[in-house]
Structure 1
Amino acid sequence: MRSRVWWPTTAVVLGLLAAGCGDGDGGKASDKDAAAGASVSGSGYPVGVTDCMGAKTTFAAAPKKIVTSNAAGLELLLRLGAGDKVVGTGFPPGKGTLPAPLDAQAQQVKVLGKTVIPKEKLLGSGADLYIDTFASMGGMGGGGMGDAPTDAEFKAAGIKHIYLKSTACASGRKSPVTDLSAVEDDITSLGAVTGTSAKAKELVSGMKKTVDGVRAAVGATAPASRPTYFFFDYDAGTKQPSVVCNRQVAHAVITLAGARNAFADCDGDFKQVGWEDVIAKNPDWIQLGVRDRGSEAANTAAFDEAQKWLEDNPATKGLKAVKEGHFVRIGSERTTIAGVANADTVREIAKTLHPGKVG
């Protein structure tokens, strides 16, 4: 199985910002507020941020030293203009994998772990905030992956532990995610915590404008007329495909782009299925889900490799999308990791599937 570049197969990734239970004041948000993503309370400081269960953590001032569990959280901070506060990261982005304006900054961030940050390094990092994109929200107290610090250990080290919630809480959602509101709330929350609310508002406004334009162009397309779409997570391995289910942010991206997720009937975020299940869906389009390799040439080679595998494999070469050459070449990160680029991905998919309708 090929290793993932940004997160392991068991990881849960970026989304609506949430605070770790152990650092909170024990306050509980209503179910309605939690479902709506109401994670920030008040204006300015103090800022209250809730987790998936509604427990609240309060920030009296902006954090000064932040550690991110992976490149997804790092990118959001860089986009918000808070990159100078980041003192370390796990799962660092490879050179050239982030947009050019952010890449140089990202390469200056200290790498505390090439994968999951070791517990001792995290607790000894001097950070006052840890943004965790790996948390399994069913076990809120312990943290994300591996030998993670306990709530008590985070508290003793003076580190507030918060999660990124639009996907960290994805598997527990009661209904499919069909828009980017949770991602937008995520950015708003992180902006409030880091004192960059003005920039967060600008980023969210840009996302809304992009998505609204696509909605105006393809939103009226009847469900039966929308092509079916399969996200082929090539880097997760080909022996048993890992598919995007209806609680994952990629499901919202696909839906907003005027397509039908081939596995929209799967409740959860990701699920491993058999190739016979993909064959039964026989999708109209296939996105070649490869991680950013750091250069245009390397990315092209990876897309070529993924496409060739589908064309040569006896189980998949007869699929409608494969026979018709209906492949979408858009990187995995911007599709399955919640962030600003989700809106751009919506537009790019829509332009490919609905030519002439989307500018």
Structure 2
Amino acid sequence: MRCRVLCGVLVTAAFLLSACAGGVSASAPQAPAGAGFPVELENCKGSAVTFDAPPSKIVTSNASSLEMLFWLGAQDRVLGTGFPPAEGTMPERFARDAAKIQVLGDKVIAKEKLLGSGADLYIDTFSNMGMMGGAAGVAPTEEEFAAVGIKHLFLQSTACPAQSGGPVVDLSAVEGDLKRLGAMTGTSPRAGELVAEMERKTGEVRDALAKVPQDQRPTYYFFDVGATPGQPVAACNQQVANAVITLAGARNVYGDCSGGFKPVGWEDVVARDPDWIQLGVRNRGDARANQAGFDEAVKFLKEFPATAGLKAVREDRFLRIPSERTTIASVRNADTVREIATTLYPDLVKAG
């Protein structure tokens, strides 16, 4: 992140204060609307976006940036979203208000609709990934955004990893996005609290597992249940899931695969024979429906000839953790790290 000097001082001070506080309060005091501005933030490709004041009409490309704005207490600035969160996907405290957000597109927002939305900011989770609307001619160009007065900001944790050239092994990019959105919306104190709490949770896991050699950590497959039973998918080393799995003390069986998600064959999954399998069920709206999804996934893995002999399947080493908490950049990624680590290392990491 690149902020002008005043913004940087405010963000740093807020982070240090929140670290001393030792927790995330339900409602943090927010910076006055004019404090810390102008703010200049880097985008994926090295360009910069400058904010002279907090945006007031934000459109989000999907639930990831939308949820972050809710955590920051800036949800009243949201004009609309694409890829709206499915029922049960958002944290319970935000669910009712999130359901009221205008849906501009069930998937990618159509170019014409986005440009005509009246937004002053579009937070883009996907476009720089060359997918989910990033194809030429589908997403607006920077010139088209500028012509209608919409600032265009990428969510760096999901839209930009490919530029780093290396695997994503921690949540620093997610935390960086929270700080960037906090600086841009004038909610830096809240962002500092959230980041401090995430770092506390992942730091406790890291310290608990410090003496476990890397080559003795269990192998782990994130099973995208949405692809069942046809095309299995690999969560590669630039997907947020790779960071979650690594921080939890496991080795992603597709950690050698560059990029985000990629289709693979069942024979390849079998060859990697994971010690543990996470049943990445996409939220179905309520606990009973989710449980049915987990049960269906187990049934498939046990009955499908290619997977029935996998070590994890034979030994019932399954983690029933919904997909969104692992694969979508979120404050809750840190909770997933702890939940996985508690399952894999019950004697070293305690729930809480």
- The two structures have a TM-score, normalised by structure 2, of 0.87
Deviation (angstroms), 1:174: 2.0
Q: CA 1:200 to 1:144, structure 2 compared with 1: closer, same or farther past 3 Å?
A: farther
Equivalent in the alignment of 1:122: 114
- For residue 32 of structure 2, what is the aligned residue in structure 1? none
What is the match of residue 77 of structure 2?
A: 85
CA displacement at 1:145 relative to structure 2: 8.0
Q: Please tell me whether the aligned partners of residues 39 and 51 of structure 1 are also in contact (alpha carbons under 8 angstroms).
A: no
Q: Aligned AA for 2:151?
A: K
1:295 to 286, 310, 333: 286
1:158 has 2:130 as partner = no
| Cα distance, 1:109 vs structure 2 | 0.6
Is 1:190 matched with 2:178?
no
In structure 2, the CA distance between the partners of 1:83 and 1:215, relative to structure 1 (3 Å rule), is same
Corresponding residue number in structure 2 for 1:272: 263
* Cα shift at 1:159: 0.5
Aligned to 2:254: 263
1:106 and 2:98 matched: yes
What do the CA deviations read for 1:199-243 (whole angstroms, capped 9, x no partner)? 100100110000011011113210122110000111134322111
In structure 2, the partner of 1:241 is 232
Task: Give the whole-Å Cα distance in 1 for the aligned partners of 2:186 and 2:310.
Answer: 50
Encode CA deviations 1:110-140: one digit per residue, 9 max, x unaligned.
111111112222112111001111213469x
Tell me: CA distance 1:174–1:259, structure 2 relative to 1, closer, same or farther (3 Å).
same
What is the CA–CA distance in structure 2 between the aligned matches of 1:143 and 1:247, rounded to whole Å?
A: 17
Residue from 126, 131, 136 that aligns with 2:123: 131
Identity of aligned residues (%): 59
RMSD between aligned residues: 1.6
1:340 aligns to what?
331
Q: 2:43 aligns with which of 51, 66, 83?
A: 51
* Residue 338 of structure 1: how far off its partner (Å): 1.1
Tell whether the 8 Å contact from 1:50 to 1:57 is kept in structure 2 after alignment: yes
Q: Structure 1: state its 5+ residue gaps.
A: 1-37
Q: Which residue number in structure 1 is paired with residue 88 of structure 2?
A: 96
Residue 353 (structure 1) aligned with residue 344 (structure 2): yes
Are 2:62 and 1:70 equivalent residues in the alignment?
A: yes
**Contact 1:287–1:330 (CA under 8 A) maintained in structure 2:** yes
Q: Secondary structure at the match of 1:349?
A: helix
Does the aligned pair in 1 maintain the 2:44–2:154 contact within 8 Å? no
Alpha-carbon distance in structure 1 between the residues aligned to 2:240 and 2:4: 24
Q: Is the Cα contact below 8 Å between 1:133 and 1:144 reproduced in 2?
A: no
C-alpha change, 1:81 and 1:308, in structure 2 (3 Å) is same
The 8 Å contact of residues 116 and 146 in structure 1, kept in 2 or not, is answered as no
Q: What is the aligned counterpart of 1:223 among 214, 221, 226?
A: 214
